[in-house]
Structure 1
Amino acid sequence: MSYRGRPSKGCDSCRARKVKCDEAKPTCNRCLRSGHDCKYRDPADLLFRNQTASAAQKAEDSWRQRAKSSQRPPGDSSKQPSAASSSNSHSSSAASPPRAFDYEALQDFNNLSLTSSGIQPDLRQLAYDRFLYDFIIDDLSGEDATGPGSDSFMSFVPSLYEISEEGSCARTIIEANCYANFYSRCNAPKARVLAEELVGKGLKMLQVRIADKQLAPTDETLGCVHMMGLYENLTSPVRDGGFIAHKDGANALLKLRSVEQYFSNPISAKLYEAASAQSLVGNLNMAMEPNDSLHKVVAARQANPGLYSNTGIYMINLVHDEATLHAKWHRFKRNNNPPVSRQALQELLRSALDLDAEYQAWEASVPPGWRARHCRNTPELRATFQSKWANVVLGSEGAPEELSQYVSLKRSWVWMFFRASRTYLLRDTIEMLNWALRLPEPDLLDISEPSSDINTATALDTISLRIHHAFATSHLVDTVEKTCSTVLAHFTIPVAGKSFEDVPGLRGYTCFWALGVLDGLFRMGILPDSGSSAARTSNLDDWPPVIDPSIMQAQPQPQMYHQHHQYPSPAMFRFPHEALNPLYHDPETTIPDPNDFPKLDPIPLISVGAPPRAPATSSSRAHIPSVPPTPPTGSGSVKLFQDLEETHPWDYTPENLAPLGVQFAAPPAIDVARRKAWLHRIIYYCATELGIRKGLALIVMDGYLEKTKMEVETMLGK
């Protein structure tokens, strides 16, 4: 056995729910509020257990001192931590910060010498406890993990583990994750062997469960598929299709039950939240439409207001809509019949602009408790953090100039999830605009049939498209900066039961997807790059663009510009219908007489075969041919962020656009090379120090592994 700390003096009800008890007598405050029967253990039992645990700790210390060289007996892997010991360990870690791991003792774990007077180590118990520490948060707010205000993270895992039978599929796959994590965090090669052995067994059992109509729609089956996705990120430093296969499996399983059924009990509800988020990540990565049932999650929450009101799950609809739009856009690009007019893009472009307006509205309307505190990245501020954060995150070249801090890790993760999905949306919008700008400008609009809803009309004239492009680019840069400014918060936000010295793996896991999305965006080369161009304006207050009247008079404007839209296009903004004055819905006032303006020559049409702009920041990118659009041939090997690498020649802004006669303040720019190097250092730290080994694939693909390794190890003083 291993020492797991002083036994809890909390009441039976609080210990059963794994929440902190204030130990008030005769009834604690939590039981008083909930109406539970408040009972405490016999003090004599506590004294006996504490003395026994103390003796066990002394024996274990003695064993560690005498340990020299030997391997753990094979039969030890079959030992099962009891539910009581697991519960005690977990509740103890939530009540007070756990004792840091003794790495000097653990690093020689595979060469231990056991004498008859020593205590044999339980590797499975050590791995399980380590996994609970690294990835499980019962609650940050002090509330029950199944109640309102909960900030718990993956709390369904210990519950699912404890209710599953010995040797079951759930226990096998959870233990495989425990061993894989223990191998990465504690340098225990024996744990790696056990992880590979168990995951092989678990996959066979999982296949049987999925094929069974009665077992497939259970929490155990869905939980196993979700945990296989985690296992992939913990163990595979290559970009293969394992995660995508598990995502597809989760998508199929989510369809077998209604959202109301998932929200019928706490374990199912928490599992649904985690699985749906994982599924949406996979959908965006692979440009596949999500499960329709995910779209109903907000309605399910409204019917169950007591569950997870602070988890941010109500934002899932926005991400679902972007995943759907993203899949439609990629199907459009792969179409064998390329578009010949801008009208073919109008519906997709309108959907993208409207959805981004909804993203902005959500961000502007969140409660104050969800907002961040911002501060500048100054030398004085860096001096207040541990050296590893000051060197790797704050002080290294390419670090963001501003930092954002949130009240909890869960809320910081929700913001990362939100901004990563918006990065996809803004990239899609810019690509659509670039495609439209390569196509001929449409003829005059038919003013005899004005749009029934002027607020949803999307102008396709070149001026409006380029204004949309400038705004979308500015928003994309702003989203990237906000994402980077939140990285430090994931490593430094206080988490109950977690040590600042022994960084838990979930700190890197919660920001890993967003980091991968940024890496793909930097590789694509569509961001304004301050490292390869003249100085650019970085103040967002310069928007909207300023029009010089003298230049406007000298430049011809297309007649369609005057038909329905003022400058800029109203499709950029969305207002509530009741807030609009009826005057603006009257065609007689919104459509001027064409005779009011002199007829000027239109802007020259843009050649369909115009050569695309090569990205300035990717010297290794193959030459982009100047050809009309053709769908990509073959999907090749499945990759973690596959769609981020499937770029099309028309995804980039054309170079030969005619002057508009409009003075634009240039969008804020990023030094892409330096920021990408900074990003690689964060990803490398997460991969090597926190066990998220999938991150190594992103760095290896760019050819910067050795360089990044040397930089990070120097910063960490290794």
Structure 2
Amino acid sequence: MVYCGKPSRGCQCCKTRRIKCDEARPACGNCKKSGRECPGYPDEFDLIFRNETSATKKRAQKASNRNRSNTSFSRSLFERAALDPKFPFFDIDCSSPSFWVSSIPAGLEYSVEAAATSFFFRNFVYLPLNSGSGRGYLEYLIPMYNQASSDSPLQLATHAVALSALGNYPGNSRLKVDARKAYGRALNKINEAIQDPLTAASDHSLMTILMFSLYEAVASTDKQPTAWSNHVDGAVALAKLRGSDGWKTKESVGLFRAIRMCMLTSAIQRAKPVDEYPGPKGWTCDDNFEQNPANRLAIISLDLPNLRRYAVDVVSQSPSLNKNAEIMHIMKMAQEVDGRLEHWYLTLPEDWGHRTVRMQLEEPVDVFNAPQWQGPVHIYDDLFMANIINDYRVSRIFCQQIILNMSGALSDPAPETLITVHGMQQHAMYVARTMADDVCSSVPFHLEIDLQPRARDSGQEIHAAEATGGYFLSWPLFVIGNTDCVPMRQREWIRGRLYRIGQDFGLSSAQMMTLAQKSVLTSGPSFP
């Protein structure tokens, strides 16, 4: 493949008039000044990976034969981007306000992996966020990636994630083969690294394992839930080696919090107790660092796995007065956790609130294919904020499910107990349905970039923005789609939205369920 010239990112109107476009969004300055309607900008994905004619491909093949070092590039749509030294790669210096520069970042070679990783950084890592909605670990990936060598497990794991993610784009499934190869090489490298006590629990090793867990979520094959949970368990084990005093920097605290969130998700889904963490403060040993709303939600949610495990153990007991007393105790504990969650929501900063932009007055006729459920459409400042709010709703639904399940396990309760339980049941169903309705109101925002001002104004590629939204939705939709008190028609609509997300990801129904179950409940990675 040969170089066709630097692709223009200007609007079509400026291209036609052969003038320089300032690429302002949502409409360029030239169109505004001349009173023209700006037609918008070309798709970023198409700009990077343009198709060429067969004649051009033949010329590229001849050039490749003359230069053996280029033969490996002829197999992918990523060739032009990888081979062109003027191609605008993403500037991975976190301090730079610029998204694109005409240079190759340190440690990034000319290759398929280079183009994929550049696109991954640009569209999924370095995005403008509300200051209170940052809670993941990907914001620390860029400097670590720059510091790592080209054959390090961290760079290989990053390439695996980037290639797998772009392999979900239509027509690029073959990239998943490259992703699996990079993943395998990274696994071999990290297995060597963790044999050394000095590198086993380093920031780079922990980041690598978190990237493995992200790869398992992105790849979403039918056989990978165990692999994902194994990576989470491995990250927890390495984190414990550092103890409660091993987190001194902002970057290391970010990794600790990400590992805690992954552990929390795994524990909730498997109804297993939270692993104990060494030190008097346990999993809250990051208290000395600033807690934003996302991290405060995680700390509140730490009680959920143990409560669910306690409930499972009590239900398995034989009927007795003592069992009834324990059941009532569990229900009250669930109410207490739910109260703390509600207080978290009521004390959020004002800019965390949603805005209603449209209303669906009637239930859709074609429930499975309808883009919106009956009721309002809510929009938020950014996807990550909406994701955190939906995690709050899911946590409250779990509390209501515990109350409802426990009430059904009572054996011959006294009349006064029945009155109390009935009131708790009615309130639990009301809260669960309200939370489910609010999640449904956020669905169009997640799946339509036109409703996402931060993504749109920053120029994020459309498919990337909507895929991120789809990833964030998979877990809350999976939960409310399996909540008994949610009406059947609404659950049918939810299944339709999950099917649509699966189609966008190129996943089967079974794979979509795997993706949903691996979504991170309280620390969703900033990428689909």
TM-score above 0.5, yes or no: yes
Q: Pick from 257, 261, 265 the counterpart of residue 273 of structure 1.
A: 257
The CA deviation at 1:463 is 0.8
SS in 1 for 2:138: coil
Q: Could you say which residue in structure 2 is the equivalent of 1:125? A: 114
Q: Could you say which residue in structure 1 is the equivalent of 2:493? A: 678
**Amino acid of the residue matched to residue 415 of structure 1?**
I
SS in 2 for 1:404: strand
SS in 1 for 2:246: helix
Which blocks of at least 5 consecutive residues in structure 1 are unaligned? 7-56, 99-119, 381-389, 444-459, 528-669, 702-718
The alignment's C-alpha RMSD in Å is 4.3
Q: Could you say which residue in structure 2 is the equivalent of 1:493? A: 452
CA offset digits 1:339-391 (Å, max 9, x no partner): 554123233222112111222222222221222223552389xxxxxxxxx99
Say if 2:329 is the partner of 1:350. no
Q: Could you say which residue in structure 1 is the equivalent of 2:511? A: 697
In 2, Cα distance between equivalents of 1:173 and 1:243: 14
In 2, Cα distance between equivalents of 1:174 and 1:214: 22
Distance 1:149 1:441, change over 3 A: closer
In 2, Cα distance between equivalents of 1:518 and 1:323: 18
In 1, Cα distance between equivalents of 2:327 and 2:144: 47
Q: Could you say which residue in structure 2 is the equivalent of 1:244? A: 229
Correspondences of 1:463-478 after superposition (within 5 Å): 463-478=419-434
Q: Pick from 411, 416, 435 the counterpart of residue 479 of structure 1.
A: 435
Say if 2:284 is the partner of 1:304. no
**Amino acid of the residue matched to residue 198 of structure 2?**
Q
Identical columns (%): 17
Distance 1:183 1:397, change over 3 A: closer
Correspondences of 1:203-602 after superposition (within 5 Å): 203-238=187-222, 240-258=225-243, 261-262=246-247, 264-293=248-277, 300-301=286-287, 303-305=288-290, 310=292, 312-334=294-316, 337=318, 339=320, 341-378=323-360, 396=370, 399-436=373-410, 439-442=411-414, 461-491=417-447, 492-496=451-455, 497-499=458-460, 501-504=462-465, 505-521=467-483, 526-527=484-485
In 2, Cα distance between equivalents of 1:483 and 1:94: 33
Alignment: residue pair count: 444
CA offset digits 1:604-632 (Å, max 9, x no partner): xxxxxxxxxxxxxxxxxxxxxxxxxxxxx
Contact 1:398–1:676 under 8 Å retained in 2 = no
Contact 2:393–2:435 under 8 Å retained in 1 = yes
**Amino acid of the residue matched to residue 56 of structure 2?**
R
Distance 1:181 1:398, change over 3 A: closer
**TM-score, normalization by structure 2:** 0.71
**Amino acid of the residue matched to residue 242 of structure 1?**
A
**TM-score, normalization by structure 1:** 0.54
Contact 2:123–2:461 under 8 Å retained in 1 = no
Contact 2:156–2:185 under 8 Å retained in 1 = yes
SS in 2 for 1:516: helix
CA offset digits 1:650-702 (Å, max 9, x no partner): xxxxxxxxxxxxxxxxxxxx432x323322232233333246x486435699x
Contact 1:154–1:274 under 8 Å retained in 2 = no
Q: Could you say which residue in structure 1 is the equivalent of 2:57? A: 67
The CA deviation at 1:462 is 1.0
Contact 2:391–2:476 under 8 Å retained in 1 = yes
CA offset digits 1:554-599 (Å, max 9, x no partner): xxxxxxxxxxxxxxxxxxxxxxxxxxxxxxxxxxxxxxxxxxxxxx
Higher helix share: 2
Contact 2:199–2:205 under 8 Å retained in 1 = yes
The CA deviation at 1:80 is 11
Contact 2:83–2:110 under 8 Å retained in 1 = no
Larger Rg: 1
In 2, Cα distance between equivalents of 1:139 and 1:125: 23
The CA deviation at 1:152 is 7.7
In 2, Cα distance between equivalents of 1:286 and 1:96: 40
Contact 1:680–1:699 under 8 Å retained in 2 = no
SS in 2 for 1:129: helix
In the TM superposition, structure 1's runs of 4+ consecutive aligned residues that sit over 6 Å from their partners are 1-6, 60-65, 69-72, 75-82, 89-94, 390-395
In 2, Cα distance between equivalents of 1:700 and 1:232: 10
Contact 2:236–2:263 under 8 Å retained in 1 = yes
Distance 1:681 1:399, change over 3 A: same
CA offset digits 1:189-226 (Å, max 9, x no partner): 44222111121222223333344433221122222222
CA offset digits 1:96-133 (Å, max 9, x no partner): 699xxxxxxxxxxxxxxxxxxxxx98311221122224
Distance 1:334 1:440, change over 3 A: closer
CA offset digits 1:319-352 (Å, max 9, x no partner): 11112211222233345x5555412323322211
In 1, Cα distance between equivalents of 2:355 and 2:100: 26
Q: Could you say which residue in structure 1 is the equivalent of 2:525? A: none
The CA deviation at 1:471 is 0.8
**Amino acid of the residue matched to residue 351 of structure 1?**
M
Contact 1:180–1:192 under 8 Å retained in 2 = yes
The CA deviation at 1:511 is 2.4
Which blocks of at least 5 consecutive residues in structure 2 are unaligned? 9-46, 65-69, 102-108, 516-528
Contact 2:478–2:513 under 8 Å retained in 1 = no
In 2, Cα distance between equivalents of 1:219 and 1:272: 10
Distance 1:152 1:469, change over 3 A: closer
The CA deviation at 1:170 is 1.0
The CA deviation at 1:284 is 0.9
In 2, Cα distance between equivalents of 1:484 and 1:418: 14
Distance 1:213 1:493, change over 3 A: same
The CA deviation at 1:227 is 1.5
SS in 1 for 2:454: coil
**Amino acid of the residue matched to residue 353 of structure 2?**
R
The CA deviation at 1:287 is 0.8
Contact 1:420–1:514 under 8 Å retained in 2 = yes
CA offset digits 1:229-271 (Å, max 9, x no partner): 2212222342642222222222223322345533x22322332
